[in-house]
Amino acid sequence: MMEGKPLELSNETNPAVLNPDVPLGAPEALPPPAKPSLWSNLGSALRELIETLILTLVIFLVIRFAVQNFRIEGFSMEPNFHDGQYLFVSKLVYMLRPPERGDVIVFIPPSNNSRDFIKRVIGLPGDRVEIRFGTVYVNGEELKESYPLNAGSYSTGSVVVPPDEYFVLGDNRNYSSDSHSWGTVSVKKIIGKAWVSYWPPQLMGLVPDYSYAAGK
């Protein structure tokens, strides 16, 4: 049997071996970073300021599109809303659905275009509304109003609410200028729905929603 001859490895297959005695080359020296100039700093700060102002303006316009603040003047909505009380009014809600009976709305009245009014929706388009000695009837049924109310003492004739119009009353019935005296409100005049009370602090909170069984 022939003894095997040891194989010789070529230099190409030998692993590279680092000689610790040979020093590595020094890394290339990098130039120091350039310092920003005064004009560069001013330009960067100005750009950030402009971006911040644009973002603030966009947020303001979005909020203004959806919400508006309103200050109550007078006592027509006592005992639920008070003179000097501040509300946020949602303008977005009626882009998603029509006003509902019981909603408290802010609108431009047909009798006075110089100021906004706040009242409660009583009659919807097509409803027949009548008031007998302060009691409200909608489509022949007594309206069961579950919120605090200063009931009126007056009577009105039967009124059919026109299309795209709403019959509104104040909660302080005998001291409210509303649909019983000047007629219905066009949907185009409605600004929005009373949403949040934010001043004074003791009145802070969401404006309650009420639903009616009568008159539907």
Is 119 catalytic? The answer is yes
- Helix, strand, or coil (residue 97): coil
List, for residues 33-64, the tens digit of each pLDDT value.
Answer: 666 677 777 778 888 888 888 887 777 666 77
List, for residues 127-161, the tens digit of each pLDDT value.
Answer: 999 999 999 999 999 999 999 999 999 999 999 99
Output the pLDDT for position 55: 81
DSSP structure class, residue 127: -
d(CA 60, CA 141): 45
pLDDT at 216 over 50: no
Query: How does residue 212 score in pLDDT terms, banded at 50, 70 and 90?
Result: low
Lowest-confidence region among 48-62, 69-83, 100-114? 48-62
Output the pLDDT for position 52: 87
Is 5 catalytic? The answer is no
Pairing relationship of beta strands 165-169 and 159-160 according to DSSP bridges: unpaired
Mean pLDDT, rounded, for 185-194:
97
Mean pLDDT, rounded, for 103-121:
93
Given the residues 5, 35, 44, 76, the one annotated as active site:
76
Region of residue 133 (left: phi > 0; alpha: psi -120 to 50; beta: else): left
d(CA 139, CA 212): 13
pTM, entire model: 0.73
Q: Which residue is it, tokens 């909170």?
A: 205
Pairing relationship of beta strands 159-160 and 141-142 according to DSSP bridges: unpaired
Asked whether 172 and 79 are in contact (CB, 8 A), the reply is yes
Q: What is the mean pLDDT of the chain?
A: 85
And the tokens for 17? 């071996």
Given the residues 10, 91, 119, 146, the one annotated as active site:
119
Asked whether 158 and 130 are in contact (CB, 8 A), the reply is yes
Output the pLDDT for position 35: 67
Domains and CATH numbers, the chain: 73-206 (2.10.109.10)
pLDDT at 115 over 50: yes
Which residues neighbour 213 within 8 Å (Cβ) at sequence distance 6 or greater? 144
